[in-house]
Amino acid sequence: MHAASALHTVRQVGQASRLSALSRVVGAFVGETPSAAGGTPALLSQRVRAESGFTLAEVLAALVFMAIVIPVAVEGLQIANRAGQVAVRKGEAMRVADRILNESIVTTNWSKSGQSGSVIEGIHQFRWVLHNEVWNQEPLHLVSVQVKFAVQGHDYDVQLSTLADNSQ
């Protein structure tokens, strides 16, 4: 029975020395001198618990910051997305306008006023209107086609113009 008691005492001394060594390492890590780090396990555990988490004020400040930043970032992403879609659709609308204007000039349909219609380019629909105005030098006319389209609920348009000779 006496041997078991001696073994238990050796184990307690080993644990105490390990905790003392651990407290010196933790103290050195946080910048304390070995004497200030304290050697007892109770002081070490209180110090580690006190320095191991965020305070309620820090957590609330982080939440307020995120509540401000996240909506602004989402709005920025939506604006960038819309700008990209508008750029792509403007390119498609210019191709539609070029095709309508060229067909009107070749077939001389440009002299008829008030032509309009819609065209599907890919999966997008475009509405167009052909305008004919007298140019400041006879017999030239300004022939314009305006193509309208919508992106995310906002209406946009492009306009393409050329001069046509009415004397033919």
pLDDT in tens, 71-86: 999 999 999 999 999 9
For residues 139 and 136, what is the distance between their CA atoms, to the nearest angstrom?
A: 9
Please report where in the chains the tokens 């989402």 appear, as a residue. 74
Question: pLDDT digits over 32-80, tens only?
Answer: 554 544 555 566 566 656 567 899 999 999 999 999 999 999 999 999 9
How confident is residue 119, by pLDDT bands cut at 50, 70 and 90?
very high
Q: What's the CA gap between 76 and 70, in Å, rounded?
A: 10
Domain 76-165 has CATH 2.30.30.100: no
